[in-house]
Amino acid sequence: YTNKNTHDIIRSGLNRSPLYTGKIKATGVRYCPSIEDKIVKFADKERHQVFLEPEGLDTIEYYPNGVSTSLPLDIQIKMLHSIEGLEQAEITKPGYGIEHDVVDPLELYPALETKRIRNLYLAGQINGTTGYEEAGAQGLIAGINAALRIKDKPALVLDRSSSYIGVLIDDLTTKGTNEPYRMFTSRVEYRLIIREDNADLRLRKIGHEIGLIKESEFKKVQKKEKEIHNGIAYLRKTSISPTIEVNNRLKQANTATIDKKISLEDLLKRPQIGIISLKKFDRIVFMKDAAKQIEIEVKYAGFIRRQFKEVERFKNLEKIRIPADLDYRPMPGLSREIREKLVMHRPLNLGQASRISGVTPAAISVLMVWLKKSGGK
């Protein structure tokens, strides 16, 4: 941990920190603050944790995670030596600040192609994000779309209800960002159905369609899908009766006994019953992967169904296309501000238009009517 002495040393160097003297003007990464940032922003904290991460198997170098800094070297040395256990440590590579330019992501189509230069695709922190996954995810989509363009095929755009990638790129290209953008689960409105455990079920079909997923891999997912479907149907149509034996087993499982038949589906909905304990009541066997999905789908059916309804409403707006060169000038009832925003963002469907900050539901209605009248759907 850092300590009071460390913090005093850091404060004594702030007037030479490029972050605080104004030399670095860019907005820093909120979620990976430098140690000087932490000392200033969280002044009430008496210490900050430092993780010593070995740089490799055959090296004596460590990366002190938690004290990233752009303070002058003499301060860095004093700061490090003030930490218990690091009094003798030597700095082999000092910390330094970096500042990089970004392209406003509003300058991009959702396929990550720049609006101004056809066939130029951008991905990664140049688009205003920070993070490995954020960069990797965009790289994948930009690469796919560059390849699809060469093949003269339509672009691949994952929507917000399909994936985290969809939310990331939609946020960037419709809302923009004024600080390094990080992907969080909280940014995803449909996170009950966009789960890690069902990524294959959500995305393999798309991967297969664009030639990235082998036939054999795709077949596996199709098989799993079928197993899930059949499994749920089986649980729905199979019941258990209130026999003494059944009720004894229910008691053993700490769940209420029954006085009339209930389906295995309803039994599985009980919090005390999992897919594995169902075996005590029936001789069912599910494929391991499918079993987990069946359990989730049955237990959370009500919530999942509600979310699918929301997705359906969302998709209806996404389906209404807006031509990229639509002339917004003759549209009655649009304020000057909204018109300017629509011209600047050039949304490609009504869903995207509705997420541009400042574009009101009333403006969306105007657009919808206009598009229907002009057959631009």
Ligand X SMILES: Cc1cc2nc3c(=O)[nH]c(=O)nc-3n(C[C@H](O)[C@H](O)[C@H](O)COP(=O)(O)OP(=O)(O)OC[C@H]3O[C@@H](n4cnc5c(N)ncnc54)[C@H](O)[C@@H]3O)c2cc1C
Using CB under 6 A, list all residues that contact ligand X. Answer: 32, 68, 98, 124-125, 130-132, 135
Which residues, in sequence order, are bridge partners of residue 321? 349
With respect to ligand X, which residue has the nearer C-beta, 98 or 150? 98
CB of 97 to ligand X, least distance (A): 9
Separation of alpha carbons 327 and 367, rounded Å: 11
Our separate counts of H helices and E strands in the chain read 15, 4
Separation of alpha carbons 38 and 321, rounded Å: 46
Residue 325, Cβ neighbours under 10 Å: how many? 6
CB of 314 to ligand X, least distance (A): 28
CB of 193 to ligand X, least distance (A): 25
Contacts of 188 (CB under 8 A, 6+ apart): 160, 164, 167, 194
CB of 170 to ligand X, least distance (A): 19
With respect to ligand X, which residue has the nearer C-beta, 65 or 241? 65
Question: Is 271 exposed, middle or buried (CB count within 10 Å of its CB: 0-12, 13-18, 19+)?
Answer: exposed
With respect to ligand X, which residue has the nearer C-beta, 130 or 352? 130
With respect to ligand X, which residue has the nearer C-beta, 96 or 303? 96
Separation of alpha carbons 57 and 345, rounded Å: 49
With respect to ligand X, which residue has the nearer C-beta, 137 or 359? 137
User: Which residue's CB atom is positioned nearest to ligand X?
Assistant: 124
With respect to ligand X, which residue has the nearer C-beta, 100 or 313? 100
CB of 35 to ligand X, least distance (A): 12
With respect to ligand X, which residue has the nearer C-beta, 33 or 131? 131
Question: Is 24 exposed, middle or buried (CB count within 10 Å of its CB: 0-12, 13-18, 19+)?
Answer: middle
Contacts of 353 (CB under 8 A, 6+ apart): 322, 342, 345, 347, 359, 363, 364, 367
Separation of alpha carbons 162 and 110, rounded Å: 14
CB of 105 to ligand X, least distance (A): 12
- The string of DSSP codes covering 182-194 is ---GGG-TTTTTS
For 91, list phi and psi in degrees, rounded to 5: -90, 120
- CA proximity to 165, closest of 148, 188, 198: 188
CB of 130 to ligand X, least distance (A): 4
With respect to ligand X, which residue has the nearer C-beta, 124 or 347? 124
CB of 19 to ligand X, least distance (A): 14
